[in-house]
Amino acid sequence: MKGGETFVGTNDPVITGDGEGPERKVLLQDFHLEVETVTVRRFAEFVEATGHITESERFGMSAVFSPLLKDQAMVTGGVSNTPWWTRIDGATWKEPEGPGSSVDDRLHHPVTHVSWNDAMAFATWVGGRLPTEAEWEHAARGGNRHRRYPWGDDEPTEDLVFCNIWQGQFPRHNTLKDGYFGTAPARSFEPSEAGFYNLSGNVWEWSGDAFKVRSLSKAAKIRNEHARKSADKVLKGGSFLCHKSYCYRYRIAARMGLSADSASSNTGFRIAYDVLPS
């Protein structure tokens, strides 16, 4: 991607508590961003070559979207305010729904259950890095222009499908209009004009930036203090669980902050590289 003067954020925020605004100017150097998220196959090659043990494996558990479980008896109880999430002992990148599950039929899907620290380890291995939030947004917009989504400003509907998000009534019924209940292959749906796949929906993508809400409000100060203590990092793009009624975060300016050791059924990443001057 060509750099130059561009912007990050929006002056028309939807979820103000996430720090989507205000829009601010930034100056970017030229950079390269991979067109797809890192797949299960590539991550397996990394693990094979390095012996890397993910944080989910070390913790012995990860967060799973409970309707993905074939055996609902495995549900141990939901997270406060989000009962569709459950802790599953033994859930990892290679057994994403816990012991006995497999990624054999998902090798071309985004790898999941990877933390920011895991993503950083992979990035170092391939000689890259995680993109900054500004780089991610610049790539998603296809340069210095205003648009709500990587494909433009058209809102996804039950019949107008652009990406892998929830369709129907969350979390009770998914119409599967887009063809997927969980993750989709990394190169599914039409790429953006700039050639990127699934920058909206599918899996949340770790960025290299620390999470911060740029506001002087009391709520922002509390959120920023929590982010500092938890070493929260910015994630972009939303996931297959996003729906306008619940998690309207598949917009380019939308964002989320999670601790660097967090992992779940819907978190992944893609790799950026510096472009050296010719």
Q: What are the tens digits of pLDDT across the range 107-139? A: 999 999 999 999 999 999 999 999 999 999 999
Q: For residues 83, 115, 174 and 107, what is the CA-based torsion angle, rounded to 10 degrees?
A: -140
Quick one: pLDDT at residue 36? 98
Q: Could you say which residues of the chain have pLDDT below 50?
A: none
Name the residue ranges covered by the structural domains of the chain: 4-274
What superfamily does domain 4-274 belong to in CATH?
paralog of FGE (formylglycine-generating enzyme) (3.90.1580.10)
Q: How far is CA 97 from CA 174, 180, 267, in A?
A: 19, 16, 14
Quick one: pLDDT at residue 228? 97
Task: Give one DSSP letter per residue of 195-264, joined into a string.
Answer: S---SSBSSEEEEEEEP-----SHHHHHHHHHHHHHTEEEEES--TT--TTT----STT--EEEETT--B
User: Which residues lie closer than 8 Å to 108 by C-beta, 6 or more apart?
Assistant: 39, 40, 41, 185, 186, 187
Task: Give one DSSP letter per residue of 237-252, joined into a string.
Answer: S--TT--TTT----ST
pTM (two decimals): 0.96
Quick one: pLDDT at residue 276? 75
